Structure 1
Amino acid sequence: MAIPSIKNENQYEALREKGYSKEKAARIANTPNAGKKGGKAKPYEKWTKSELYEQAKNVGIKGRSKMDKAALMHALRNN
């Protein structure tokens, strides 16, 4: 199996140092907004279900199509 490239290598390494698995660190580092700073993202409670679904899709959460808004928030926070 080929190893996927990492879009944000610095973020990936920082996550690995914090104890994240290789898979989870890669998923996070490869999201479209990986490494952007500023703390301007609104809390998940203020996101629409479709926004949460798209974010879950971006990070590769399985079973997202069957999740309600609360389940999507939980999965995004704990994946």
Structure 2
Amino acid sequence: MPEREPGPSIKDDELYEKLRDEGNSKEKSARIANAASNTSRSHVGSKGGSHGSYEDWTVDELRNRAQEIDIDGRSDMTKDELIEALRNH
């Protein structure tokens, strides 16, 4: 199998490939790998917001967030489907 070339915009090729092998999207893998190269891998895992769980959000709030990150089909999704799409984006 030929080795993948992540491209010049990826700053941590090794981490990017590991994330892709785990099944993450190209976009998500690139975001994490580039964030990790700016600080440290352990620091990236500790970053994050402090707002509540998606289960506590209303369907309108979930749809608005899905719109912000351009998730297709959001208007037809149930609350559980929106939560899964947001978590897997």
TM-score (norm 2): 0.50
Runs of 4+ in 1 over 3 A off after TM superposition: 13-27
Distance 1:73 1:55 in 2: 10
| Structure 2 spans left out of the alignment, 5+ residues | 1-10, 32-46
| Structure 1 spans left out of the alignment, 5+ residues | 1-12, 28-36
Structure 2 equivalent of residue 59 of structure 1: 69
1:5-44 CA-to-partner distances (Å, cap 9, x unmatched) read xxxxxxxx689696665534688xxxxxxxxx66421100
Count of residue pairs brought into register by the alignment: 63
Distance 2:55 2:78 in 1: 12
- Structure with bigger RCO (C-alpha 8 Å, 6+ apart): 1
1:38-69 CA-to-partner distances (Å, cap 9, x unmatched) read 64211000000000000001111101011010
Identity %: 50
Structure 1 equivalent of residue 52 of structure 2: 42
Which amino acid is the alignment partner of residue 63 of structure 1? G
- 3-state SS of the aligned residue for 2:67? helix
1:72 equivalent in alignment to 2:82? yes
RMSD over equivalenced CA pairs, Å? 3.3
Distance 1:58 1:52 in 2: 10
Report which of the two structures shows the higher radius of gyration computed on alpha carbons.
Answer: 2
Distance 1:66 1:52 in 2: 12
